Amino acid sequence: MVRTPLTEDQRDRGKALGQVLRAARGPRSAAEVAAAAGISLDTLRKIERGAIAAPAFFTVAALARVLDLDLAALAHDLRRFEAA
């Protein structure tokens, strides 16, 4: 299966998501947050640096829960990166 390449807007949105999650993590270790969310440390690190620009919904939802982020507000904030 060949995946359609991500657009620049999608890559920018992925980087912005990573920055928000990294900031919300604060002083907690990435390992602690990843374990609490039920994802691998490697996955969290890739999301935070934007290497996974479009993570699965349930992954983002789990991270939002652990980081006490409102999922609707997070989605709203990232909408500015959608193509017009």
pLDDT computed for residue 83 by the predictor:
52
Between CA 74 and CA 84 the distance in angstroms is 19
Output the tens digit of pLDDT for each of the chain's 84 residues.
787 888 888 899 999 999 999 999 999 999 999 999 999 999 999 999 999 989 999 999 999 999 999 999 998 888 876 654
| Longest Cα–Cα distance in the chain | 40
Kindly list the structural domains of the chain, giving each domain's residue range(s) and its CATH number in brackets, ordered by start: 8-81 (1.10.260.40)
Specify the pTM.
0.86
Q: Indicate left, alpha or beta for 2 from its phi (over 0: left) and psi (-120 to 50: alpha).
A: beta
